[in-house]
Structure 1
Amino acid sequence: MIAQELKIQEKKAVQPHGETTKTDTYFAPHVDIFETEQEVVVLADVPGVAPDGIDLSLEDNILTIQAHREPPNHLGQLILEEYETGHYMRRFTVAETIDQDKIEAALVNGVLKIRLPKVGPGQPKKIEVKIG
């Protein structure tokens, strides 16, 4: 990436903004990031999250992924549970080379795909010089 369209913040324990009175657990979803000449694509693993459980926002050039996984309905006595219920949160800094008005996202089989199209190169134009 020339100007680094998407800057990854160091992975660490995730904390929501501000102070909270809830004791909810937050996980940082694993991501894969791909780049082409036209766009940057982020694939985030959010297993068990329903489409209405995702909040994707962009504020002050920070792309925030938030998602909530509801507790599963068990069909019998639970013997082992390795998937914890909680929230997902991950933040990325988006460069000026991304067209923020055209960002798209889709959730398929527990994978959130975010497409961040790049701004096209400026087209040459003639600038009129006014007299007087």
Structure 2
Amino acid sequence: MNTLARKQWIPFPDMPEWFETLPTKFTLPTIRVEDYTEDGRYVVRAELPGMAPEDIDVMLNDGILTVQAERTERNVEKNHSEIRYGSMSRSVSLPPGADENDVTAQYTDGMLTVSVGLGAGKTEAKHVEIKHGE
């Protein structure tokens, strides 16, 4: 006896690929990060699975921490792939008091951890006297 199988109709089968082509402000960042303060240091952790440390670059400039990485595509015939290849970058603003000369970075098990000293401390708000012009 034959049984009828109900085929699921998908109205827009290419929609997942379409979302990936939207401008980056509408999509998730290619490098996911978390940040927190621990033991007087600002810590940023970035997910970079399957990368080698030599494929990752960490830069600090004018209060901005930038992580750049590049995943090279293997030259094999694929049946299916959802892995993102190419260059990716993520920047975060450092908190007030961050010491750009006190930075360490470590890459373990696909996770990059960057730690920045908070030596200068937070500056307090100060009032500025307004002079009346004549």
TM range (shorter): 0.5 to 0.7
Whether 1:13 and 2:35 are equivalent positions in the alignment is no
| Aligned residue-pair number | 96
The two structures have a TM-score, normalised by structure 2, of: 0.63
Aligned equivalents of 1:34, 1:62: Cα separation in 2: 16
Counterpart of 2:91 in 1: which secondary structure? strand
Higher helix content, 1 or 2: 2
Q: Which has the higher contact order (CA 8 A, sep 6+)?
A: 1
Partner of 2:99: 99
Stretches of structure 2 that go unaligned for 5 or more consecutive residues are 1-22, 122-134
Counterpart of 1:103 in 2: which secondary structure? strand
Contact in 2 for aligned 1:33/1:43 (Cα 8 Å):
yes
Out of 63, 88, 108, the position equivalent to 2:65 is 63
Q: What is the CA RMSD across the aligned residues, in angstroms?
A: 2.1
Partner of 2:84: 84
Contact in 1 for aligned 2:30/2:89 (Cα 8 Å):
yes
Stretches of structure 1 that go unaligned for 5 or more consecutive residues are 1-11, 15-26, 122-132
Determine what percentage of the aligned residue pairs are the same residue.
27
Q: Which amino acid aligns with 1:110?
A: G
The two structures have a TM-score, normalised by structure 1, of: 0.63
Out of 29, 46, 49, the position equivalent to 1:47 is 49
Whether 1:35 and 2:51 are equivalent positions in the alignment is no
Partner of 1:72: 74
